[in-house]
Amino acid sequence: MGIMPVIWQEWILFKRKFKTISAGALVSPLLYMLAFGLGLGKDLEVNGQPYLVFVIPGIIALTTMNTSYSSIAVLLNIHRIYDKTFEEFIISPLSMFNFTLGKVIAGALRGMYAGAIIIILSFLFGVNLNINIWFIILMFLNALIFAGVGFYAALIIDSHANMSRFSTFVITPMIFLCGTFFPVDNMPLIVKKFIYFLPLTHASQGLRSLARGDGFHWMNIFVMLTYLIVVFILGLREVYQVES
């Protein structure tokens, strides 16, 4: 059976809510680009390049993060606690490994769709980014990580209110601290060291380097792969506990 039933279900949901999903993926990043890129940063340069060239890869990173996380975390939490439809998957012939993998991949694909919208917007704004296969791989890794985080959070948090608090204390700080809108070089050393270990930092740095045509550092890939493995194992362990 594999993961296709899960991905197909998400695809049907995506088609039915295409306009709403597209609008949701467009509004926040567009506001970020207008406010930080054309408003605050119109005449700014970072490392000798226009601020838009610096900030758009960061916006792509945070958009894939937010979309991948929220597309899994919110609905799965509601299905588990309120609708009780999560139990349908538990009693179905679908293995919990395939269910977990399918949900994470489906969430990541939703994040990739949102990221693709930002890339298209960047070209419309006249910002030419160097998009290559490594850029896409890094985007997808980032999306997989936060889809995995959303899956895990949905299974361990027991109320919708606490899901919002989790986002406030875990997701929101990364949006502003992980080098998405400004370089982290001038941060205090202890803060900079902490930020360096966060996955969005490596996504932002890696995408920015690739967008400039500078290549990437293998450390970015290594850290993100490590996070992906950890969050997937945590989610898988939790779903098996729910099943038992």
Cβ of 74: how many Cβ atoms within 10 Å? 17
Residue 212 near residue 205, CB atoms below 8 Å: no
Question: Which one-letter DSSP state was computed for residue 181?
Answer: S
Phi-psi sector, 14: left (phi>0), alpha (psi -120 to 50), beta: alpha
> Taking the chain, what is the end-to-end CA distance rounded to the nearest angstrom?
21
The b-or-e profile of 178-214 (16+ CB within 10 A means b, else e) is bbbbbebeebeeeeeeebbebbbbbbbbbbbbbbeee
Task: Please report, in tens digits, the pLDDT of each residue of the chain (244 residues total).
Answer: 578 888 888 888 888 888 888 887 778 777 877 776 666 656 677 777 778 888 889 999 999 999 999 989 888 887 777 776 666 666 777 788 888 899 999 999 999 999 999 898 888 877 788 888 999 999 999 999 999 999 999 888 887 778 888 888 888 888 888 888 888 877 888 888 888 889 999 999 999 989 888 877 888 899 999 999 999 999 999 887 766 6
Report pTM.
0.90
